[in-house]
Amino acid sequence: MSTTLSPVEINPLSSLDVWEDDLLDRYPDPETIAEGKTAEEFRNYETPARESVREFYRLNHTYQTYDFVVEKKKDYLKFDKKEMPVWKAFDFLNTLVDDSDPDTDLDQFQHLLQTSEAIRADGHPDWMVLAGLFHDMGKVLCLFGEPQWAVVGDTFPVGCAYSDKIVFSEFFSKNPDFYNPEYNTKYGVYSPNCGLRNVQLSWGHDEYIYHMMKDYLPEPALYMLRYHSFYSQHREHAYDHLMDDHDQEMFKWVNLFNPYDLYSKSPVAPDWNQLKPYYHQLVKKYLPETLKF
Ligand SMILES: [Fe+2]
Ligand SMILES: [Fe+2]
């Protein structure tokens, strides 16, 4: 891969939230629609933001090759970058806040806490609450110098044909794997219904947090972490041919999780001081004192 990325190629978006805002445009809250609001009322669709999202996906689809994924996993899954007490890790993640985006009024931690609180309010198991609290921790990859398109964005399988259900799929024609006969067939390097555990997904914050948590949380929570940005499957069902029965079963949890991620954003911040004792207990129950990055 080219080592000569320009600053705008590293950070095409004014903030990571621009990608999430775009997700809301693609998958608006069905309840908001039911209340009779128009798409315009729901969200003001800014052309400049959409342009940067387009450029973001051009870069993502161009550079996320099979080899790129293998290389990133080799590097980051050593977890030799940093070790931090759990609660310090949230402070570290929060240094990601950008003031370049006037729309961004909530920091990363607020999004995590709103997600976990919405899950808790609905009475789901405590490990799902914990998955909510940690699901975007992998965005610290940006702080280790990774370009935005290797941290966020919809994830998709590499090593086999790209689905046209993936957002901006036309940009895959820029990806060298698109022309590689080993990779560009329906199954590519995989076999029918081989199970997602045998499939490489594009590299980003999902895969990273999954590996960080895999020894500590029950399997449904791990599926939520690992596949929460895999929209072409959990929303579009484009890769049923790679999933096995167990994946299908576990994706019920991924589907249950997704609305909490997308639709729990509120301008009102939860009262952290009041919630702190609960979350300290919860973290203690499942996680070690420090996390390795
Ligand atoms: Fe995420
Ligand atoms: Fe999220």
- At residue 82, the pLDDT reads 97
- 291 forms bridges with which residues in the sheet? 84
Backbone φ and ψ of 287, nearest 5°: -110, 155
Distance 260 CA to ligand 2 centre (A): 8
Return the DSSP state at 194.
-
CB 243 within 8 A of CB 233: yes
Q: Is the dihedral of CA 177, 181, 187, 189 positive or negative?
A: negative
Q: How far is the CA of 205 from the centre of ligand 1 (A)?
A: 7
Tell me how far the alpha carbon of residue 136 lies from the centroid of ligand 1, in angstroms. 5
Question: What's the 192 CA to ligand 2 centre distance in angstroms?
Answer: 31
Residue 174 corresponds to which tokens in the numbers above?
Answer: 């820029």
Please tell me the predicted confidence (pLDDT) of residue 257. Answer: 98
Ligand 2 centroid–CA 184 distance in Å is 31
Beta strands in the chain (DSSP E): 83-85, 290-292
Return the pLDDT at 99: 53
Q: Write the single-letter amino acid at 10.
A: I
Which residue do the tokens 């997704």 mark? 258
Residues 6+ apart with CB under 8 A from 274: none
- pLDDT value for 50: 86
Ligand 1 geometric centre to CA of 156 (Å):
14
221: left (phi over 0), alpha (psi -120 to 50) or beta: alpha
The string of DSSP letters for 85-97 reads: EHHHHHHHHHTT-
Distance 183 CA to ligand 2 centre (A): 30
User: What is the C-alpha to C-alpha distance for residues 212 and 136, in angstroms, rounded to an integer?
Assistant: 12
Residues of the chain with pLDDT under 70: 1-3, 33-47, 98-105
- Nearest Cα neighbor of 227 from 193, 204, 260 is 204
Q: How far is the CA of 185 from the centre of ligand 2 (A)?
A: 32
pTM for the structure as a whole: 0.92
The pLDDT of residue 189: 98
The three-state DSSP-derived secondary structure of 5-18 is CCHHHHCCCCCCHH
Distance CA 17, CA 44 (A): 14
CA of 238 to the centre of ligand 1 (A): 20
Task: Compute the distance from residue 111 Cα to the ligand 2 centre, in Å.
Answer: 7
Q: What is the Cα–Cα distance from 204 to 158, expressed in whole angstroms? A: 13
pLDDT tens-digit series, residues 52-81: 999 999 999 999 999 999 999 999 999 999
